[in-house]
Chains A and B, each alone.
Chain A
Amino acid sequence: MALAREIYRAFESIVGSRNISEDLGIRETYRCIPAQSSAHFGPYDQKTPLPQAVILPGSTEEVQQIVKLCNKYKIEFKASSTFWATMGYIGSDCAIQLDMRRMREIEIDAKNMTAVVEPYAIGATVQAEAMKRGLTLNIPGVGCSSSPLASTAGWAGFGPTSIFMGCATENMLGAEWVLPSGETLRTGSVGAGSGWFCGEGPGPSTRGILRGVVGTTGTMGVCTKVAIRLHPWPGPDHIPSVGDAPAYRAVLPDNFKGYTLCFPDWGAYANAVNLFHENPDILFLGHRQYNKFGRNLKVAMIKILNDKNKQLCDLPALMEDPVTKKQNEDMKIDVQVILAGMSKRDMAFKEKAVDTILEETGGWKSEFMQEPDIAAWNLMYLLRLGHKNLNYTLCGAYEGTFGLTGNVFVSSSLMEEASALKRKWELESDCIAAVGGDSDMGSISVMGGGGATGWEFFTQFDAYDKESIKNTKLFADATQEWMTSKGLGVDFCRWNEDARRPDGYNYTQEQHDEMYINLPQPHVTAYQYKVREAFNPNKLTGSYYRTLTPEKLKEQD
């Protein structure tokens, strides 16, 4: 199926022939294969639908014209910035894909600590520009190759620095947004022409339409600019580095220190995390990072990553090495933290605070992680989050399972049980990598100032191996069953399971009605239905926006 000539030419006249394609081969590279990409709805070896055309707009005005045409011709559309995840792709056969890479401006207001960013400005570039002005930003856990605008507008947006800097929703200031109806909404002070500093009001905040606990994954139109809050960077104007690829190491002054804090048990861990939440000024960053490789692998992997001559084939020998084993055991229950001193005194206070918390909870610092080269590598890794694709390194694909996000006392008390379940699958089925069960990782807090942890178990599988994909799905079923039995809600890899069907297509309204009528508070989705009706009257953006036909509630009554 192809767009009618008249329609294609209309789109072409907006962006120019260079920035639109309907070539089959080109369009095929805009289909997502969830097993090969970040999916958040389970591993599926099935492509998302083929877009009718791929369009690369260069300005808000072009976006607006495209969206208006989509409304005129009833063509679905979805915009994506970096195409990291399945949610950025279309979900029906009558749809076009907007690739936002031509819009990448970054404008920094250093005085007021804000950056106005376009969709294809990525975390790494915003950070580089911000650091020149003594500032930095919260980069979500997915890493610095992701777009801050996308994580603000499209998804969750929390990460290692969220305890200090807050998450995407907290950092979102003014926004410029082409609604699905084709109208351009500028929130807060932006709409009033007063600047980008405030995304709220006047009166009730229209930005409520643009994202909730997560963003609208491209279903509420196209965010073309967003102002984000920046945070202090008490370091040089860029992070100087040394070392051969891939082990780049940061050269930073003494006011930056990275530690791996280790604990004798999960109770002590939870108490320590709670103390950091209670004293949110101490940590610049807090993340359980390297455990993503697995409890049995993490030190071996860190050694591989720090030696240009080592490879994954060195894992077994390293894992058997007694020194490595001891180091690994030492940091079995761990979290990586970075302290950034705003002054010498401040640094001394923060160091003392960490030591006091360790003392109170019986914790210690990993000596291995403080070896100079490892420590410098660790600083570079965590401060820039430029190696986040190591998430996929072991097998080429992963899904986040369990998803013990929320109350740290609840999740940490279940950690060993979850680990045991995963370990059982590792030993009894070869579908997932055998890493020692516990491969839990995530932020010490998903929100500014503490409050809830953001944990998932990285489950590595082989996207090239159909059996591995199929059985990993079964493993995800088992983890969900366990989650449900513990009253923990939805598994991390299923956050979007209700948004896109396993075949890659949108759900119908009837299917969504069946799902959402059973929510504990179904009015949530009924209101979202009304919001969609108001701002997306032609329903052009797919089923990631969760809606329940309000009449179904009346039927239920």
Chain B
Amino acid sequence: MALEDYRAMMERCSNCSGCKWIPFDKIKSQRFSENCPSISYYNFNTHSARGRFQLAQTLLDGDCEFSPDVVEAIHNCTACGSCDSTCKITRYNLEPLDHNLALKAKAVEEGYALPEQKPIMDSLQQEKTMLPGELRSNRLHWASGIDVKDLMKEKGEVAFYPGCKYSYNEKLKPVAANALKLLINAGADVGIFGSADMCCAGRALQMGFENDYEQQAKANMEVFTKSGVSVIVTPCSDCYHAFKRQYAKLGLDIKVMHLVEYLDELIQDEKLVMKNRVPMTVTYHDPCHLGRLGEAYVPWEGKEKKILNQVHTWEPRRPRYNGADGIYDAPRRILQSIPGVELVEMERIREYTWCCGAGGGCSQTNPEFASWTANERITEANATGAEAMVTACPWCEESFMNAKDEDGNTIQVVHLIDLVLQAI
């Protein structure tokens, strides 16, 4: 939808400020009560979902322009969707996250991308990754030494799709390798896309580069279809969201699973048995794109229909994404299945989790803001007394590895797969 198509939502937003907080029912303290990194860091109303609705009205009316401050406000959104989930606690007809993305897209379309975004998009075009400086020729180094099918050459049921972060980041590469080995050892008919493996481009969409995203998505979908796989498993929450929710809009019809879902199934089916004790108190960080943004896409076409004079609904019933059906329980079940692991929860979890700061491309375009966002989460994690923070997304993991809490302390950051490996 173009920005203009959100006009009704802009004017029907009631300025309640719900978009600035986790669901009020869930607030346990002043310290960890806010949900949106952007307004929390920048403080001006413009940086909230309400502010963006209002800014968009003003831009469309021609009452302001894409000034440098406006452009920064538009792009300094981690697209984490926290505003969207809390808005939908009470509203049935607003889509703040989609609107935020449409606003970014409008800025990009009008030539108001951030200068920092250019090398990222150039890299996508040239090297098929949104990590500038990385070469496509090095993309498969993470899998060297693993005897795995190249799905472009031989058939397999499951595609393992590590995503750019796991493919290139030296510290994170072992996670991808271990995950793949674990799938192989568990008897999965798994392979990788080999030289056809490319960036999912989900972050292009999060940054407002709709055309680049679509181009890349279609290219990937061609690869997926050609490979004939029936399931794509990814350990990256960003990629998961891109495939499950966004590619599906473009017609992707292959089952998409996050690694935690796959492992959960293996454990449920007793194909994976946790034998070793891992004595550790951990807290789990719900990645935004796996949790509240991890709900599956449901096709819909329809139009608005007013009932009871002025109550706006859609005909036919429109799917509603409010985060209720995100992937929250699978990672927690895995943790609970590991002997010795004690899970202590942070205050902001599940659909009201706090973003790691990397979303929306912010860790690359605005590291100061992204780093503050991650630090906030580390403060929250350390407040639980946990020894380690477990997550299921490389972007979150990278953000947290470099973060410190308000007292300057770090926390050990662990991918779920690492704990599983220790336990089996």
Residues of A within 8 A of B (CB): 19, 21, 23-26, 28-33, 35-38, 54, 56, 82-84, 99, 101-102, 104, 106, 121-122, 124-129, 132, 143-145, 238-239, 241, 244-246, 248, 250, 297, 308, 311-316, 380, 384-397, 426, 430-435, 460-465, 468
Contacts and interface: CB of A to CB of B under 8 A. Distances in A.
A20 to B, nearest CB: 10
A239 B26 CA distance: 8
B311 A395 contact: yes
Interface string B384-421: 00000000000000000000000000000000000000
Q: Which 8 A-B pairs have the closest CB atoms?
A: A386-B24, A396-B12, A25-B70, A313-B313, A23-B69, A392-B14, A389-B90, A389-B16
Nearest to A244: B324
Interface string B321-354: 0111100000000000000000000000001000
A56 B41 CA distance: 13
B358 to A, nearest CB: 23
20 contacts: A29-B50, A36-B12, A56-B43, A83-B45, A84-B16, A106-B30, A122-B33, A124-B21, A125-B30, A132-B29, A239-B25, A245-B322, A316-B307, A384-B24, A395-B12, A395-B311, A396-B12, A432-B310, A433-B308, A460-B311
B307 A56 contact: no
B30 A29 contact: no
Contacts of B67: 23-25
A198 to B, nearest CB: 25
Given A24-B64, A28-B64, A313-B314, 19 more contacts: A25-B65, A36-B13, A56-B43, A102-B43, A106-B30, A122-B33, A125-B33, A145-B21, A246-B88, A246-B89, A246-B322, A308-B325, A311-B92, A312-B311, A315-B311, A315-B313, A391-B14, A431-B310, A432-B310
A424 to B, nearest CB: 13
B202 to A, nearest CB: 23
Given A125-B29, A238-B28, A26 B73 contact: yes
A30 B45 contact: yes
B263 to A, nearest CB: 23
Interface in B1-38: 7-8, 11-18, 21, 23-30, 33
Contacts of B66: 25
Interface string B41-84: 00111100011001100110001111101100100000000000
B312 interface: yes
A435 B325 CA distance: 31
Size bin of chain B's contact surface: 35 or more
A469 to B, nearest CB: 10
A525 to B, nearest CB: 30
A179 to B, nearest CB: 25
Contacts of A84: 15-17
A25 B70 CA distance: 6
A124 B55 contact: no
A246 B90 contact: yes
A106 B65 CA distance: 39
Contacts of A390: 90
B318 interface: yes
Interface string B299-325: 000000111111111110110101111
Nearest to B30: A125
A230 B202 CA distance: 48
B11 A312 contact: no
B277 interface: no
B91 interface: yes
B313 A128 contact: no
Nearest to B13: A36
A101 B30 contact: no
Contacts of B320: 311
B281 interface: no
Contacts of B89: 245-246, 248, 386-387, 389
Contacts of B309: 426, 430-434
Contacts of B178: none
A396 B46 CA distance: 20
B90 A28 contact: no
Given A245-B323, A386-B23, A462-B312, A26 B12 contact: no
Central interface residue in B21, B73, B92, by most chain A CB within 10 Å: B92
A550 to B, nearest CB: 38
A394 B33 contact: no
A124 B33 contact: yes
A29 B50 CA distance: 8
A68 to B, nearest CB: 23
B365 interface: no
Contacts of B43: 19, 56, 99, 101-102
Contacts of A387: 24-25, 89-90
Contacts of B24: 124, 143-145, 384-387
Interface of B: 7-8, 11-18, 21, 23-30, 33, 43-46, 50-51, 54-55, 58-59, 63-67, 69-70, 73, 85, 88-93, 305-315, 317-318, 320, 322-325, 351
B30 to A, nearest CB: 4
A25 B12 contact: no
Contact of B27 (A31, A101, A128, A246): A128
Contacts of A384: 24-25
Given A245-B324, A380-B25, A433-B310, A463 B12 contact: yes
A75 to B, nearest CB: 19
Given A104-B30, A125-B27, A21 B18 contact: no
Nearest to B46: A29
A343 to B, nearest CB: 26
Contacts of A308: 322, 324-325
Contacts of B73: 25-26
Contact of B308 (A391, A435, A464): A435
A26 B69 contact: yes
Nearest to A430: B309
B27 A124 contact: yes
Contacts of B313: 311-313, 315
A54 B42 CA distance: 13
A25 B58 contact: yes
Contacts of B16: 84, 143, 145, 388-389, 392
Contacts of B21: 122, 124, 145
Central interface residue in B13, B59, B66, by most chain A CB within 10 Å: B13
Nearest to A390: B90
A129 B23 contact: no
A426 B309 CA distance: 8
A268 B93 CA distance: 39
Contacts of B18: 145, 389
Contacts of B307: 312-313, 315-316
A396 B90 contact: no
A288 B307 CA distance: 25
Contacts of B91: 389, 392-393
A29 B14 contact: no
Contacts of B28: 128, 238
Contacts of B8: 464
Contact of B59 (A19, A25, A312): A25
Central interface residue in A126, A297, A380, A389, by most chain B CB within 10 Å: A389
A464 B12 contact: yes
A90 B320 CA distance: 37
B55 to A, nearest CB: 5
A24 B44 CA distance: 13
A435 to B, nearest CB: 7
A462 B30 contact: no
B315 to A, nearest CB: 7
Contacts of A244: 324-325
B5 to A, nearest CB: 12
A297 B310 CA distance: 14
B377 to A, nearest CB: 19
Contacts of A82: 17
Contacts of B63: 24, 28
A124 B20 CA distance: 12
A311 to B, nearest CB: 5
